[in-house]
Homo-oligomer: A and B are copies of this chain.
């Protein structure tokens, strides 16, 4: 087969896609816990055993959904930053955070799948790490552009920076061509990354019920604090 895959492979990919779509629909309706292979097959007019030709187990189907969810969220974040550009880094920062929150609220079960309790096993399969890091990379890109403009401040809390916390993979990533962000800024960013999702998780998972009323206002305000924590300072008037 050449660049154009044969009809058979195309059909196979289409069926796999239909299975994922139906599974995603059940996921959105009932949550990951109640997602059933048999129900998916039933809805698609197949018999349950046929489904195993495409996904070797329920966990593999879930993993595929996880990868898709990471990619959907990552694409959302990337689109947000593309739409506003990084010249005004404060605006870009807020736009990305807002887009991530919006996606999470619109897809609570998919969000729970990727940022809630890890459902299958305890170690995420290797093919989830790249999609999972897309949002973080977008945040890094915003910080990078601020740094290039010389507007990445040092933290104003003493002892907030710490050395040698980064894994080697990330250290290498930071040394890639085009990346000039100092290594000591990365831990701050990683912490803020986690804090951002903590904020969103509390809202999506209902921890703010009967505590916070106007969650959007709190989110918007806190996103500014997080930007400050990374070192971003209000964009100058020339932006």
Interface residues of A (CB under 8 A from B): 31-33, 112-113, 115-119, 122-124, 129, 132-133, 136, 155-162, 164-167, 169-170, 187, 190-191, 193-199, 201-203, 205-215, 217-218, 220-222, 224-225, 228-229
Contact = CB atoms under 8 A, between A and B. Distances in A.
Contacts of A113: 117
A168 to B, nearest CB: 8
Given A132-B207, A212-B166, A194 B202 contact: yes
Given A116-B117, A117-B117, A221-B159, A194 B165 contact: no
10 contacts: A33-B33, A132-B207, A159-B224, A165-B213, A165-B214, A165-B218, A190-B208, A191-B221, A197-B207, A198-B199
B221 A194 contact: no
Contacts of A197: 198, 201-202, 207
B210 A169 contact: yes
Given A195-B199, A206-B118, A225-B229, A190 B162 contact: no
B119 A206 contact: no
B199 A117 contact: no
Contacts of A212: 165-167, 170, 187, 190
A236 to B, nearest CB: 15
Contact of A211 (B159, B167, B225): B167
A213 B166 contact: yes
For the complex of A and B, list the 10 residue pairs with the smallest distance between their C-beta atoms, beginning with the closest.
A198-B198, A116-B117, A112-B117, A195-B195, A194-B202, A165-B214, A191-B222, A116-B116, A162-B217, A157-B228
